[in-house]
């Protein structure tokens, strides 16, 4: 089984290539990062000792605009994973037709073993290492795993010290006080909800669709609340420790309150299940919102959902995709389904460049328009080419990148 995330990306590019009439040079550009930046950074611990950490930034493709993508602080992120995420960002931005490219970065360490002051020093050291490669018109980072708005503020502060001027558009995901935008914390889930409502097959769906959500972090919990408010029945929820199931439905707000008090998921009348059981439970819509490679050739034949919405990055392997296609299960791919986050990050970048503040109504209206229009475009491509939604999304996104590569540079 192929679970290498970058190999999965290459498989999908190869599948799309025959329909795009690519030259060898263009195919190579789609398969290889423009730049892989790596540097060891030195960070002083609170004890006075100095430690060296490996930092990196993968700039995958900027044919359509500045590199865009998060920075993660995590001990296990390897180069293949980061390359895959950077590549997916390039495709994702093209699918929703925003003028950004794809990038990703990180520092390999466990932030849980570091104090807040030490994490701030890591953030500043990262910016010092890569400052010449970052900027509003070149590479615009954002939060990712174990980074947040405070860390983005810290990175912005360090960058502005280096360049000697105000530059809020060089990074997104900031606090509102530093130029952040309203709605960024819920954008991934809200964008996914707009896409789901646009694409869900009404003929196969009951009046109150049953939804199972793997992952109850920010995106998963927000999605559960949004869908519950819109008449969907949440029947299963899980986090890294396990999950709960109730055919009668689960109140996600009550579950979140219980988890915040006790650290565990629980709901009245619900039974305890494993993450594996959640994926295979009785539901209409399955939403993987946690880790990659969750849906594989081992479990794909056992899923009961008719629709899968990928709120996580890379939750489905190519082998599972083939099984879902043979079973007529609709997979709404991550490069469309979770693009609400980067779309609102793009709004933040615009807001900072324009020097004005967008309100909630403007963010929501423009997010809904972009996500619904993009969903329609992907569905139209799927119908035209007689392919799956993932294949259609990759065709659409890669074609837009190739069109930019072919366009004369001014």
Task: Output the pLDDT for position 321.
Answer: 94
Task: Output the pLDDT for position 4.
Answer: 78
Task: Output the pLDDT for position 207.
Answer: 81
Task: Output the pLDDT for position 409.
Answer: 64
Same domain for 272 and 203: yes
Same domain for 193 and 168: no
Q: Which residue among the candidates 92, 104, 174, 233 is catalytic per the annotation? A: 104
pTM across the whole model? 0.93
Q: Scan for tokens 């490669």, then name that residue.
A: 133
Query: Residue 95 belongs to what H/E stretch?
Result: helix 79-95
List the domain range (segments joined by +) for residue 289. 187-328
Task: Output the pLDDT for position 267.
Answer: 86
Q: Is 304 a catalytic residue?
A: no
294: CATH: 3.40.50.720
Same domain for 216 and 150: no
Q: How many domains does the structure of the chain reveal?
A: 2
Q: What does pLDDT average to in each consecutive run of 10 residues of the chain (410 residues)?
A: 76 89 91 96 97 96 97 86 92 98 95 97 98 98 94 98 97 97 96 96 77 94 96 95 95 92 88 95 96 92 97 92 96 97 97 95 98 98 95 96 84
Same domain for 49 and 157: yes
Task: Output the pLDDT for position 204.
Answer: 62
Same domain for 218 and 169: no
73: Cβ contacts below 8 Å, ≥ 6 apart: 106, 107, 109, 111, 119, 122, 145, 146, 147, 151
Same domain for 323 and 196: yes
Task: Output the pLDDT for position 203.
Answer: 62
Three-class SS state of 115: coil
């Amino acid at each position: 089984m192929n679970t290498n995330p970058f190999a999965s990306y290459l498989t999908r590019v190869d599948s799309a290539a025959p329909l795009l009439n690519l030259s060898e040079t263009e195919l190579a550009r789609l398969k290889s990062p423009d730049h892989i930046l790596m540097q060891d950074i030195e960070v002083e611990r609170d004890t006075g000792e100095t430690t060296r950490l490996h930092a990196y930034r993968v700039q995958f493709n900027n044919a359509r605009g500045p590199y865009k993508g998060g920075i993660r602080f995590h001990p296990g992120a390897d180069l293949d994973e980061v390359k895959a995420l950077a590549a997916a960002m390039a495709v994702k931005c093209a699918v929703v037709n925003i003028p950004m490219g794809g990038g990703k970065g990180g520092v390999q360490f466990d932030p849980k073993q570091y104090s807040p002051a030490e994490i701030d020093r890591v953030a500043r050291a990262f910016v010092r290492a890569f400052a010449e490669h970052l900027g509003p018109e070149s590479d615009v980072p954002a939060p990712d795993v174990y980074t947040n708005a405070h860390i983005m503020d810290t990175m912005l502060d360090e960058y502005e010290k280096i360049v000697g001027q105000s530059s809020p558009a060089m990074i997104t995901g900031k606090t509102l006080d530093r130029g952040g935008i309203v709605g960024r914390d819920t954008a991934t889930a809200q964008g996914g909800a707009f896409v789901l409502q646009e694409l869900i097959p009404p003929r196969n769906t009951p009046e109150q669709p049953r939804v199972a959500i793997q992952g109850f972090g920010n995106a998963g919990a927000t999605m559960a609340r949004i869908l519950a408010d819109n008449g969907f029945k949440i029947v299963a929820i899980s986090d890294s420790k396990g999950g709960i199931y109730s055919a009668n439905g689960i109140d996600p707000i009550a579950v979140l309150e219980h988890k915040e008090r006790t650290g565990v998921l629980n709901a009245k009348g619900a039974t305890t299940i494993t993450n594996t059981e959640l994926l295979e439970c009785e539901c209409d819509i399955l939403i993987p919102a946690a880790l990659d490679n969750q849906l594989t050739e081992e479990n794909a034949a056992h899923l009961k959902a008719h629709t899968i919405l990928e709120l996580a990055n890379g939750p489905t392997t190519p082998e599972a995709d083939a099984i879902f296609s043979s079973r007529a299960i609709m997979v709404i791919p991550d490069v469309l389904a979770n693009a609400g986050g980067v779309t609102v990050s793009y709004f933040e970048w615009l807001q900072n460049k324009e020097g004005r503040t967008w309100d909630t109504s403007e963010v929501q209206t423009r997010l809904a328009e972009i996500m619904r229009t993009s969903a329609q475009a992907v569905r139209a491509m799927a119908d035209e080419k007689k392919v799956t939604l993932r294949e259609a999304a990759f065709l659409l996104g890669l074609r837009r990148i190739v069109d930019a590569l072919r366009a004369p540079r001014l």
